[in-house]
Amino acid sequence: MSDFDIPLLRTFASVADSGGFARAGERVHRTQSTVSQQIKKLEEQAGRQLLVRSARATQLTADGERMLGYARRILALHDEARNLFAEDLPELVRIGLVEEHAAPALPRLLGQVAARHPRARLEVRSALSLELAAELAAGRLDVALYRRLPGHSAEAGGADIAAWADTPQWMAAPAHAAALAAQPILPLVLFPHGCVFRAHALAQLQALGRRWRLVYTSASVASVVAAVQAGLGVSLLSRHMLPAGGWPAPGALAVLDALGALDARSGLPAPPATRLVLRAAPGASGPAARAVLARLRGHLRRCMAVAA
């Protein structure tokens, strides 16, 4: 005789309680044919016929009545043990953010969450926007902060918690701006594949027939800004990439203020009206996840106000 499977016992009890295979299927979220197969498998494990199915009703056999009592006791003990250990499982909150918002304020914010929710487990990673959107949609992140291009609808697999306008500008070192914009082959300083600014810039330059070459690529905001300051090329940058208190020190917005914004006379395509979105997965409903979202939302509201 084989060991009895818990899912089969649960289906059996549901058939007995509901009086039919179809109604039992609704309870256990199975099709009627699947319920029938599970009952057949349980009868094979027991070596007894447990149910008699007719056109009008489904009834327990004598062996089925004996089995039902044991099934209820087994399921009750199983569920009690499962619930006991489920209470001890830490809440896992997987957080993904664009690089410039991953530090330095984030560790302090997450430290506050950890202090209030000591049993929660927080995992944080920084990446580019398109990668974060895909990770959230695939269920590999619970909370994500990233940029979305204009005209793009909200991605599947989550809900927008908050969003802020985040339009970038074409920027260059003031001493080199005019010469760089006038070059027949535009030198670009961009983030890697996965950055919405990069995707927009290359697509629009291609549409305008403007020739370009990549002279510097980095996933680091600090590195991209340094390359632009050095006069290597032009880039699409947002003031919100350097929130107050961010890299490299308080007052970091002055770094972007010191760069020169290129206007329409430079012949460059119009910057995209991107949005910075804070998004949560459907299952991000635990107390630690809610605390992370609340603190990120408050932090971003302050940062965007300072950079406006």
Q: Is residue 143 part of a domain?
A: yes
Region 273-302: mean pLDDT is: 88
Residue 128 sits in a domain whose CATH number is 3.40.190.10
Asked if pLDDT for residue 87 goes beyond 70, the answer is: no
The answer to whether residues 97 and 217 belong to one domain is no
Strand partners, 217: 190
**Cβ pair 122, 248 in contact under 8 A:** no
φ, ψ of residue 22 in degrees (nearest 5)? -65, -50
φ, ψ of residue 74 in degrees (nearest 5)? -65, -45
* CA separation for the pair 91, 233 (Å, rounded): 45
Strand partners, 229: none
Q: How many domains does the chain have?
A: 3
141: DSSP letter: -
Q: Is 231 exposed, middle or buried (0-12, 13-18, 19+ CB in 10 A)?
A: middle
* CA separation for the pair 270, 207 (Å, rounded): 12
pTM above 0.85, yes or no: no
The answer to whether residues 21 and 72 belong to one domain is yes
Asked if pLDDT for residue 202 goes beyond 50, the answer is: yes
The answer to whether residues 60 and 80 belong to one domain is yes
pLDDT at res. 257: 58
Strands (E), the chain: 51-53, 58-60, 92-97, 121-126, 143-148, 159-165, 169-172, 186-190, 212-217, 235-237, 260-261, 275-280
The answer to whether residues 23 and 104 belong to one domain is no
Mode of pairing for the β-strands spanning 143-148 and 212-217:
unpaired
* CA separation for the pair 194, 98 (Å, rounded): 11
**Among candidate residues 308, 304, 287, the one with its CA nearest the CA of residue 122:** 287
**CA 211 to chain CA centroid, nearest Å:** 35
Token pair for 38: 């599970």
The answer to whether residues 243 and 185 belong to one domain is yes
79-88, 137-146, 167-176, range with the lowest pLDDT: 79-88
Of 40, 56, 86, the residue that ends a domain is 86
Q: Is residue 252 part of a domain?
A: yes
Predicted confidence (pLDDT) per residue in 98-154, tens digit: 887 766 667 888 888 988 888 888 998 889 999 999 899 888 999 999 998 877 666
Asked if pLDDT for residue 1 goes beyond 70, the answer is: no
pLDDT at res. 244: 41
The answer to whether residues 140 and 214 belong to one domain is no
Of 52, 86, 120, the residue that ends a domain is 86
The answer to whether residues 299 and 154 belong to one domain is yes
The answer to whether residues 176 and 258 belong to one domain is yes
**CA 87 to chain CA centroid, nearest Å:** 25
**Cβ pair 48, 67 in contact under 8 A:** yes
The answer to whether residues 154 and 293 belong to one domain is yes
Predicted confidence (pLDDT) per residue in 219-264, tens digit: 888 889 889 999 999 999 887 775 443 433 344 445 555 677 887 7
Q: Is residue 1 part of a domain?
A: no
For residue 125, how many C-alpha atoms fall within 13 Å in the half-sphere facing its CB?
Answer: 13
Provide the domain limits for residue 258: 169-266
Q: Is residue 141 part of a domain?
A: yes
The answer to whether residues 52 and 64 belong to one domain is yes
The answer to whether residues 192 and 259 belong to one domain is yes
Token pair for 185: 């082959």
The answer to whether residues 31 and 114 belong to one domain is no
Predicted confidence (pLDDT) per residue in 35-58, tens digit: 888 889 999 998 999 888 876 778
Residue 60 sits in a domain whose CATH number is 1.10.10.10
* CA separation for the pair 306, 91 (Å, rounded): 33
Angle at 307 between CA 114 and CA 96, to 5 degrees: 35
Of 86, 103, 125, the residue that ends a domain is 86
